[in-house]
Amino acid sequence: MSLLELKDVRKTFGAIEALRGVTFSVEAGSAVALVGDNGAGKSTLMKTITGVHRPDAGEIRFDGVSIVGKDPGRIREAGIEMIYQDLALARMRNVASNIFLGRELTRSVLGVRLVDTNRMRNEAEAMVARLGARIPSVSQMTGHLSGGQQQSVAIARALTFNPKLVIMDEPTAALAVREVEHVLDLIRTLKRDGISVILISHRLTDVFSVSDRIVVLRQGEVIADDATCDTSMNAVVAHIVGAHSEPAS
């Protein structure tokens, strides 16, 4: 049984068919790249998986349980975490505060709950060390970090939910080459720890570097779903631009 299974998922907005029978799966501890041109349906599909949109038809099962109709909070509790391209970090707060943003650790002092900054700092340091992230200090302001370091903070924050699946939206966009490799190493670390990844990316070199499978969306349909080792960059590009027009079987 796959960790995440989508079968014939459909979503329309008025006359627009955003998803037209999407079927694919994600195995535990694997990375699946989701690629396609702008307007292919990638964002709609991710919002449907994470509960922002409810599919009009089809089935989405996670860890053997249907998640159709569950709200985003329940889906997050089930083990799916989404890291958006803008990262949604508080750049004027330090790294530890960002990692625990919205779920700060507390301690009781004379019956009053106070934020436990020492424990948050210690646990943030442990999370950063687990990832092998190149962050000089969890006390540093997040806005002073590089793009790759900020991506590390976003991943560390996601891991505090103990996810089974992390969805990453263009995590290497606008990063320098050296920082791109660091983010790719973080994805490899997630896989090593048994955490599945859906990687949305336009950078095919990154996709081929870390993914186990590549799913190509075009106009709301899965046009190709291949093991990375069984396809090529030229073939994926051809699918994206429509040179191969037959949906995947």
Distance CA 115, CA 108 (A): 9
Q: Which residues contact 192 (CB under 8 A, 6 or more apart)?
A: none
Residue 5, class by beta-carbon neighbours within 10 Å (0-12 exposed, 13-18 middle, 19+ buried)?
middle
Domains of the chain: 1-79+164-249 (3.40.50.300), 87-162 (no CATH)
Output the six-digit token pair for 93. 């707060």
For residue 177, how many other CB atoms are within 10 A of its CB?
Answer: 7
pLDDT per position in the chain (249 positions), as tens?
A: 799 999 999 999 999 999 999 999 999 999 999 999 999 999 999 999 999 999 999 999 999 999 999 999 999 999 999 998 888 899 999 999 999 998 888 988 888 899 899 999 999 999 999 888 889 999 999 999 999 999 999 999 999 889 999 999 999 988 888 899 999 999 999 999 999 999 999 999 999 999 999 999 999 999 999 999 999 999 999 999 987 555 565
pTM value?
0.90
Whether 42 contacts 36, CB under 8 Å: yes
**Which whole-number Å values give the CA distances from 83 to 50, 135, 143, 213, 225, in the listed order?**
11, 19, 17, 20, 23
